Amino acid sequence: MIRLAPVALALVLAQLWTLAAPAQGRRPPPRPGQFSSTGFAGPSLQGMASEFFRAPESRGERILACRFGPETAACAADTANQFCRARGYVGAAFSRMETVRNRTFLADVLCSRSGV
């Protein structure tokens, strides 16, 4: 069995993403709470114990890395953990930030069912 570090695994999944990205389906109506625990969270690649989200979404919109305050790595990691927990995972094993038109979003989030 080959074991990859979370960073290497996320990079491999990002490369596979271009080959296996599913078509976006219809989005369910919004639900109360910060992150929807069901419904469409953006296209993903799902494995046995993890799921990779290239551009995670909630209620049809990209998730800001930090809702309040400055966009720091710690804040983005907390947001990624909250997103993954809402989807039923233990937390985020890997995440990055992506800036688009002066807004910073979560990107490349790897949610894991095992200890993070």
The pTM of the full predicted model, rounded to 2 decimals, is: 0.66
Q: What is the residue type of 25?
A: G
pLDDT value at residue 43: 79
Average pLDDT over residues 3-9: 60
pLDDT over 60 at 32, yes or no? no
51 assigned to some structural domain = yes
Number of folded domains that form the chain: 1
pLDDT value at residue 13: 54
66 assigned to some structural domain = yes
Sheet holding 50-53, edge to edge: 44-46, 50-53, 103-112, 91-100
100 assigned to some structural domain = yes
Distance, first Cα to last Cα, the chain? 20
Range of the domain at 86: 45-116
DSSP run (H or E) holding 109:
strand 103-112
pLDDT-derived band at 26 (thresholds 50, 70, 90) equals very low
Q: What is the residue type of 28?
A: P
pLDDT-derived band at 18 (thresholds 50, 70, 90) equals very low
